[in-house]
Structure 1
């Protein structure tokens, strides 16, 4: 490793990129300005690109997104690069948007899309660390843009129920039909599963929009608000 990776804030930027599978360049700067002006930040990103540690992807309206390269993941071992062939850009951008919006909530301390340990039985799309009534907890995030089979959903719910890594899991859905189907699946599960699983329905969910505070939620068999679940 050359000294380039260790000075002038480059490693800080690279580590922050490593928290997210893919993130808008402007959004990355707004999360952590790194104590520099945006123009300087852009030059540093360009330098990281020239060193082969990050790469950019041009999306709609010429929005620029940043992800680690395979070389970059060697420095940020818990980071994962975006795979154009296997990954869904829309899904991963929505997951990033959800986590970045949620960490602004008063009772959530921090979160990330990546930085998970290898070899876990179940790996979510995102992870939030929160606190309620003085107790800290972890909240796994599953982004479901397409309905999966009952057996596949049930198997994953059981894994979450048995996991010691996640206190709760929240399934975020943008189709009413999927919300109803997952509600029926959840109602057929035992109490051990239902006490850890939350459903949230936001019909207007996009890579830039997520209105969790007004979303319809289901928790422990009851229709509740987001604030009812996570507020003090």
Structure 2
């Protein structure tokens, strides 16, 4: 039996909090400067002791790692991901990367991941009713004009059924305590389709805003990426309350050196979680 180091426990906590990491992300965040073979050997030892598990591979053949029930319970995490869909691995991996970027921009003050929202729903509703609930990819708390606001995050890499989007849009528009829905998309064509869907389903009585951004723009431009609304386009750094050093970031400067921030879940976003469930 191996003796867990502080770094091992931090890794287990991170995997429980975020759902998964690629080998590359683990090295950057926990083993920076350490030889790849040494890192892989340590991960295999943790895997052999049933603290972590390989949940699949990316198209690049890079391993994705998740925490086991044993590992999650060891670090005292109440919610952690235990099931991974092979068809969603690329999506979930990119969602984790997006979350890390937004946190490192100091934009996201707290974040409730999809697996935590889903777990809460299945505890609250019957299995049949829970399956009909529409769950965002993440619920993020951010500061907008000195107010703490909740935003539903939807990462769309492929266009889905039009009827599904219509149901989603109508449901989101009924959430008065939700500041906005932010669609992060992989292409301009998906952005245009979603914007068109929302315009056609738009309610004059809803206060919920909607914005669209290209994932690649956020990855390369950071706080200088655009948030495209139905009528107005903003720059991220001008929409959210960000630290001066982030707002002054050069347009050509990519966001690098990702690290986990100790971002807790505030009482306000906890209270709103059940209200955002559709």
The two structures have a TM-score, normalised by structure 2, of: 0.64
1:72-93 per-position Cα deviation (integer Å, ceiling 9, x unaligned): 55664421135254x4221111
Q: Which residue of 2 aligns with 1:180?
A: 192
Q: Does 1:223 align with 2:233?
A: yes
Q: Which residue of 2 aligns with 1:80?
A: 81
State whether structure 2 residue 238 is matched by structure 1 residue 195: no
Which whole-Å CA distance do the structure 2 matches of 1:164 and 1:78 have between them? 27
Gaps of at least 5 residues in structure 1 are none
Which residue in 1 is equivalent to 2:261? none
- Answer whether contact 1:107 1:132 (CA < 8 A) is retained: no
| 8 Å Cα contact 1:173/1:199 also seen in 2 | yes
CA contact (8 A) 1:54 1:69 kept: yes
User: Which has a greater percent of helix?
Assistant: 2
Q: Deviations over 1:60-113 (max 9, x none)?
A: 55533211235555664421135254x422111111111111111144324364
In 2: Cα distance, 1:118 partner to 1:52 partner? 25
1:52 aligns to what SS in structure 2? coil
Distance (whole Å) between structure 2 residues aligned to residue 182 and residue 164 of structure 1: 21
- What value does the CA root-mean-square deviation take over the aligned residues? 3.6
Deviations 1:111-140 (A, max 9, x none): 364543511844222333222333222222
Change (3 A) 1:8 1:94: closer
Distance 1:178 1:43 in 2: 41
Q: Counterpart of 1:111?
A: 111
Contact residue 187 and residue 194 of structure 1 kept, 8 A: no
Q: For residues 37 and 215 of structure 1, do their structure 2 counterparts lie closer, same or farther at Cα, with a shift above 3 Å needed?
A: closer
How far off is 1:19 after superposition? 1.7
Structure 2 residue runs of 5 or longer lacking an equivalent are 123-132, 243-278
Report the CA distance shift for 1:194/1:73 in structure 2 as closer, same or farther (over 3 A). Answer: same
Give the SS at the match of 2:148: strand
Preserved contact between residue 99 and residue 128 of structure 1 (Cα < 8 Å): no
| Alignment map for 1:54-69 (pairs within 5 Å) | 54-56=52-54, 57-69=56-68
Within-5 A mapping of 1:95-174: 95-111=95-111, 113=113, 114-116=115-117, 118-119=120-121, 121-163=133-175, 166-174=178-186
Q: Judging changes above 3 Å, is the alpha-carbon distance between structure 1 residues 176 and 8 closer, same or farther for their aligned structure 2 residues? A: closer
Partner residue in 2 for 1:48: 46
Higher RCO (CA-CA < 8 Å; seq separation 6+)? 2
Offset at residue 144 of structure 1 (A): 0.8
* TM-score relative to the length of structure 1: 0.75
